[in-house]
Amino acid sequence: MRELPYRIDAGGDALADSSADGAGDELDAKIEIEEHDGTALVRIGSHTVEVESVQVGERYVTLTVAGKRHRVLYHTERGHVHVAFGGTGLEFVPAEEAAAASGTATGAFTPRITSPMPGKILDVPVSVGDTVEADQPLVLLEAMKMENTLRAVAAARVVSVDVAVGEMVAPGDTLLVLEALAADDDDAG
Enumerate domains of the chain plus CATH numbers.
2-96 (2.40.128), 110-185 (2.40.50.100)
pTM of the model: 0.46
Residues pairing with 177 in the sheet = 112, 160
Three-state DSSP state, 185: helix
Instruction: Read off the pLDDT band of 99 (50, 70, 90).
Output: low
In this predicted model, what pLDDT tens digit does every residue of 147-166 receive, in sequence order?
888 888 889 999 999 999 99
pLDDT at 112: 85
Q: Average pLDDT, stretch 124-152?
A: 89
Higher pLDDT, 41 or 129: 129
In this predicted model, what pLDDT tens digit does every residue of 67-92 receive, in sequence order?
888 888 877 766 677 777 666 666 67
What is the DSSP annotation of the chain?
Answer: -EEEEEEEE-TTSGGGGGSSSS--SEEEEEEEEEEETTEEEEEETTEEEEEEEEEE-SSEEEEEETTEEEEEEEEEETTEEEEEETTEEEEEEEHHHHHHHHT--TTT--SEEE-SSSEEEEE----TT-EE-TT-EEEEEEETTEEEEEE-SS-EEEEEE---TT-EE-TT-EEEEEEEPPGGGTT--
Q: 38: which residues sit within 8 A by CB, 6+ positions away?
A: 52
In the predicted structure, residue 137 carries a pLDDT above the cut 70: yes
